[in-house]
Amino acid sequence: MQKFVKYLAAALMVTGLAACDGKSDNAAANDNGVSSSPSAQQNVTLLDGKLSFALPPGMSDKSGKLGTQANNMHVYADETGQRAIIVISGDATNEALDVLAQRLEQQQRNRDPNLQLVTNKSIEVKGQKLQQLDSVMTANGQSAWSSVVLGLVDGKLLTLQITLPADNQQQAQSDAESIIQSLQIK
């Protein structure tokens, strides 16, 4: 469980830094099931085919550029770093997903006292029970939409975090939901 918290903290830190960076990064995507075409939605397949989702246009694999540990964290972002998807395959856990989501919410509140919780709910995607935590976070005066989806794959905790600029909160929520609806977990 401590490893999960460390990975999640690292993911949130990477996302916060990337969202506030504003620098352009022109690296091409690597061969992680993602093409480098910025105009079309792409499918990403991870964890030996057990997880797939649609990557929005303009996002590519940045896993190697952000200093991730081993192969259990994958980072996809746009060129500005303001739109990001982080996937973490963690350790095995027996804890309920709603308990983990409550703990995550508390960690987010500790980092951002102005955190705006939108939803913390149980969802089902293609027959798989997941927990979804949506919030609006603020860093350096900028707001970011965060959707975190927790689930179990082969008994291991899977975390998918989607971070988008919250200038237009309704659009950010819609874009995040589109990615979540594309999830396939086997």
Per residue of the chain (186 residues), give pLDDT as tens.
444 434 444 444 444 434 444 433 333 333 344 444 445 779 999 989 999 999 999 999 998 765 445 558 999 999 999 999 999 999 999 999 999 999 999 999 999 999 999 999 999 988 889 999 999 998 888 899 999 999 998 889 999 999 999 999 999 999 999 999 999 998
Looking at the chain, how many residues does it have?
186
CB 53 within 8 A of CB 46: no
pLDDT of residue 141: 85
Domain topology for 2-185: Protein Transport Mog1p; Chain A (3.40.1000)
pLDDT of residue 44: 94
pLDDT of residue 84: 96
What is the torsional sign of CA 44, 3, 80, 151?
positive
| Domain regions of the chain by residue span | 2-185
pLDDT of residue 15: 44
N-terminal to C-terminal alpha carbon distance within the chain: 23
- Label residues 92-121 b or e (16+ Cβ within 10 Å = b): ebeeebeebbeebbeebeeebeebeebebe
Task: Give this prediction's pTM.
Answer: 0.78
**CB atoms closer than 10 angstroms to residue 28:** 8
pLDDT of residue 140: 84
Q: Mind giving me the DSSP string for the chain?
A: -HHHHHHHHHHHHHHHHHHHH-----PPP-SSS----SSS-EEEEETTTTEEEEEPTT-EE-GGGGT--TTSEEEEE-TTSSSEEEEEEEEE--S-HHHHHHHHHHHHHHH-TT-EEEEEEEEEETTEEEEEEEEEEEETTEEEEEEEEEEEETTEEEEEEEEEE-TTHHHHHHHHHHHHHT-EE-
pLDDT of residue 186: 86
CA angle, residues 147, 132, 114, in degrees to nearest 5: 55
